[in-house]
Structure 1
Amino acid sequence: MEVNFLETLKTQPLLVIILFILGSISFLKISVSILRWVYVNFLRPPKNIKKYGSWALVTGSTDGIGKAFAFELAKKGLNLILVGRNPNKLNDVSSEIQTKFPKTQIKNVVFDLNGDLSEGIKKISDLTEELDVGILVNNAGVSYPYARYFHEVDNELLNNLIKVNVEAISKVTQAVLSGMLKRKKGAIVNIGSGASTIIPSYPLYAVYAATKAYVEQFSKCLYVEYKNSGIDVQCQAPLNVATKMASIKRSSFLVPSPTGYAKAGLRWLGYEPCCAPYWPHSLIWGLLYLLPESAVDPWILSFCLKIRKKGQFKDSQKKKI
Structure 2
Amino acid sequence: MASSTTIDLKKTLIIPICTIGFLTFFTQIFKFLKWVYSMFLRPPKKLNKYGSWALVTGSTDGIGKCLSFELASKGLNLILIGRNPQKLQTTSNEIRAKFGKEKTKIKIIVIDFEKISGEEIEFKICKEIEGLDVGVLINNVGLSSERSRFFHEIGLKGMIDLVSVNVGSVNWVTKAVLPGMLKRKKGAIVNIGSGSSVIPSYPLFSVYAASKAYVAMFSRSLSIEYKQFGIDIQCQVPMLVATKMASIKKASFFIPSPEQFSKASIKWIVYDTICVPYWTHALEWCIMNMIPDSLVNRMLLRYFISVRKKVLRKENNLA
TM-score by structure 1 length?
0.94
CA distance in structure 2 between the aligned counterparts of 1:9 and 1:122, rounded to whole angstroms: 78
Aligned-pair distance for 1:28? Answer: 2.1
Aligned partners of 1:9 and 1:16 also within 8 Å: no
Where do 1:4-153 residues align within 5 Å? 8=6, 10-102=8-100, 103-117=103-117, 118-153=119-154
Aligned partners of 1:110 and 1:120 also within 8 Å: no
The answer to whether residue 241 in structure 2 is matched with residue 241 in structure 1 is: yes
CA distance in structure 2 between the aligned counterparts of 1:161 and 1:268, rounded to whole angstroms: 27
CA distance in structure 2 between the aligned counterparts of 1:284 and 1:165, rounded to whole angstroms: 24
Q: What amino acid does structure 1 have at the position aligned with 2:176?
A: A
CA distance in structure 1 between the aligned counterparts of 2:247 and 2:49, rounded to whole angstroms: 36
Aligned partners of 1:114 and 1:163 also within 8 Å: yes
Per-residue displacement from partner, 1:275-320 (whole Å, max 9, x unpaired)?
A: 11001000111111122101211111111112211222232234x2
CA distance in structure 2 between the aligned counterparts of 1:109 and 1:203, rounded to whole angstroms: 35
Where do 1:159-174 residues align within 5 Å? 159-174=160-175
Tell me the percent identity.
Answer: 52
CA distance in structure 2 between the aligned counterparts of 1:36 and 1:5, rounded to whole angstroms: 46
CA distance in structure 2 between the aligned counterparts of 1:158 and 1:130, rounded to whole angstroms: 36
CA distance in structure 2 between the aligned counterparts of 1:143 and 1:235, rounded to whole angstroms: 18
Alignment coverage as a number of residue pairs = 315
TM-score by structure 2 length?
0.95
CA distance in structure 2 between the aligned counterparts of 1:50 and 1:174, rounded to whole angstroms: 21
Q: What amino acid does structure 1 have at the position aligned with 2:15?
A: I
Aligned partners of 2:254 and 2:284 also within 8 Å: no
Aligned partners of 2:142 and 2:165 also within 8 Å: yes
Aligned-pair distance for 1:78? Answer: 0.6
Per-residue displacement from partner, 1:121-143 (whole Å, max 9, x unpaired)?
A: 21211233310100000000111
Change beyond 3 A, Cα 1:243–1:19: same
Between stretches 185-194 and 308-317, larger displacement belongs to 308-317
Aligned partners of 2:50 and 2:187 also within 8 Å: yes
CA distance in structure 2 between the aligned counterparts of 1:7 and 1:204, rounded to whole angstroms: 61
Per-residue displacement from partner, 1:11-45 (whole Å, max 9, x unpaired)?
A: 34221122112212221221111111111101111
SS of corresponding position for 1:214? helix
Aligned-pair distance for 1:6? Answer: 11
Q: What amino acid does structure 2 have at the position aligned with 1:132?
A: D
Between stretches 122-131 and 162-171, larger displacement belongs to 122-131
Q: What amino acid does structure 2 have at the position aligned with 1:106?
A: I
CA distance in structure 2 between the aligned counterparts of 1:316 and 1:147, rounded to whole angstroms: 15
Aligned to 2:313: 313
CA distance in structure 1 between the aligned counterparts of 2:33 and 2:7, rounded to whole angstroms: 33
CA distance in structure 2 between the aligned counterparts of 1:154 and 1:97, rounded to whole angstroms: 38
Per-residue displacement from partner, 1:183-241 (whole Å, max 9, x unpaired)?
A: 111111100000012x2211111110000000000001111111121111110110111
Aligned partners of 1:9 and 1:15 also within 8 Å: no
Between stretches 304-313 and 253-262, larger displacement belongs to 304-313
